[in-house]
Structure 1
Amino acid sequence: MTLRTGRHFLQIPGPTNVPDRVLRAMAAPTIDHRGPEFAALTRRLLKALGPVFGTSGPVVIYPSSGTGAWEAALVNTLGPGDRVLGFETGHFAVLWRDMARGLGLDVDFVPGDWRHGVDPATVESRLSADTSHSVKAVCVVHNETSTGVTSRVADVRRAIDAAGHPALLLVDTVSSLGSIDYRHDEWGVDVTVAGSQKGLMLPPGLGFNAVSAKALQAARTAALPRSFWDWQPVIAANERGFFPYTPATNLLYGLAEALDMLRTEGLPQVFARHARHAAATRAAVRGWGLEVLCADEREHSGSLTAVLMPEDRDADAVRKIILERFDMSLGTGLGRLGGRVFRIGHLGHFNDLTLAGTLAGVQMGLELAGVPVDPAGLTAALDVLR
């Protein structure tokens, strides 16, 4: 067993590094989740979550992964056989499609190359052709964690409106919330799906749905089976400060601390920090002579960068060297990108020196793997940071 000194660099695009103050908050004694102290915590949390989602409406918290929050979005708004429009922007869009099909929904899935986000023009043309309004929901992954591509949700909303279509808009923000500008109310999103383990700087274990009035109306008649995921009992219990099940109490302590950190820094500053670190990372990649997977300058992710390797190189071999030599974890290629890309996470509790160390480790790992790179890549990133 190799002796490691220093701190492990966890540079996957989630779960992210959990701040010490969040860990300390989670270490507090568990309290009675039916008592007045917990009720006060719940009310404080729900109020603080609104600005992060960009909503004045309800936010439902589940003790779940983001996958559970996906299911909640679908089963609360749709019925068996309902038609859903989805887009193949990457691995997680595919998984959401598979879940929808498993629930008995009819998914019209638009093929994609995994290098571009959702095309608003395609949204408008597909919905304009649906004169019978058989499409009940449009499902979009805001930031595709497998590719580092961010779809333009505001433009998707405008496309739906231009088509004059009543479909609900469901958006996955698992790897964008708290890292990339997002506006649930302003962009007319009906259900926003999120998880705790990325921009919210927590361990995995909390799932979220931000819900519009239109989505709540749809939930009254939606016919897919639901029990644990049902919004109504949660929202009703939340009005009294409680949950209809045993909540993940200590994760909620951590959430309160993380939300305070985001509020103190200011969300515009948080988004600018992430965008700056993403720009520095792309400068390094291009300086090395490698290619960023995202092919549209308008869609670069502030959360992560996926690096496309030369055809004759195995991205996982590079990741293995970096882990063994420098104790740093990078994200693997998922689905069709297996062995073709590695992913650098630069989201959450993160600063300039952490990014500089990350990129230095990547550059050394590439060199040790025999990948021909220009060492000026790191300098290019540092120039952006300066």
Structure 2
Amino acid sequence: MPSPDWTSPAADGPVDATIDLPGSKSLTNRFLVLAARAGGVSRLRSPLRSRDTLLMADALRSLGVEVDDVDGEDWLVTPSDAMGEAAVDCGLAGTVMRFVPPLAALAQGPVRFDGDPHARTRPMGPALSALRTLGVDIDDDGRGALPFIVRGTGSVRGGAVTLDASASSQFISALLLSAPHYDAGVTIHHEGKPVPSQPHIDMTVEALRDAGADVDDTEANTWRVEPGQLNSLDVQIEPDLSNAAPFLAAALVTGGRVRIASWPQHTTQAGDEIRDILDEMGADVSLARDGLTVSAVDGFSGVDVDLHDASELTPVVAALAALAEGPTLIRGVAHIRGHETDRLAALARELGALGALVTETEDGLHIRPRPLSPTTFHTYADHRMVMAGAVIGLAVPGVVVEDVGTVAKTLPTFTDLWAGMLGRAAAQGRIA
């Protein structure tokens, strides 16, 4: 059921704020899957609690894994090697619909997967075909999409598989995360256009190695994981750097300064690319031990940027582009047409309705700023579209962001954090 609309608050001056963001969705869900079959109890410190991560925790619980809350701070994950019949609600979470089926193949009995209506349009064919090649019985009535049933037999043969992951790097990460538990491990070879969001695969490989897995990624487009028992984990979840993007963008839009606390010195998160993008647009960007600070310097310019490896930044960068001095070309993101919505079409439609001149290209957007007028900014059940609308609303009073609650997919406290950044009272009603 859609949530209330939200009038995005306009800035009445330069912001000057420090933001403490919750943990990374991508890291939280990867560590949850690894902990589900580890050799002991794992502790995830400061995990993100959002719709996507709660769906992942519930998916694991349905399979027999214990995920226990510790004082609202950490999660303790007690693994299960006797997973059974289950039903998994994927919501609109790509990580759930793609990461859990390879794990469910190790269950004894059928595991049924379904999700939100739009989730049924998200591509799953390459992932399901790859699992069949590795010996998994799947019933999807030939759709290559939700809903489907994974008929687990308690073990998976494993081996070598070739797939086209050009639609989503999650197809590769999904297989890698469960590969140590397959009888012969897994060797994955990607064949097709370049894999999008390569940093997310790097993140998966690093997380596997943290758990003691033997992973060989020395050959281009090929990943080999040896079979073996994973170690239990005790990990601190980094702040979500993609969720930081709209707050950092606010520094440029308002001519102010924003610091994100605890920004990691080293990370595999694709959202780290926002530092270079904002620097190229004209911001003063400084990374120190206590966090990342972005300050505005006399306006900001458009940019020519390839976001192939950090495509989740596209909505916020596009919103900035509509307010910049000069045109912007965003390239390399054709694959985001298959995300929560067709993000290229959605951004072109909504920014165009505000007054910007936006042209869809084969793999991106060409944005030429013009004077903007307030209207309703439709979000298409996409959390990143909410963030883009909020950035626009800083400079265009009266912008109404439709269905603001959809941002709970990755950041339930978004409107409260946004209000706090602007020095306002907390937004009415925390997003649930």
Please indicate the TM-score interval, normalised by the length of the shorter structure: under 0.3
* Normalised TM-score (structure 2): 0.23
Q: Which has the higher contact order (CA 8 A, sep 6+)?
A: 1
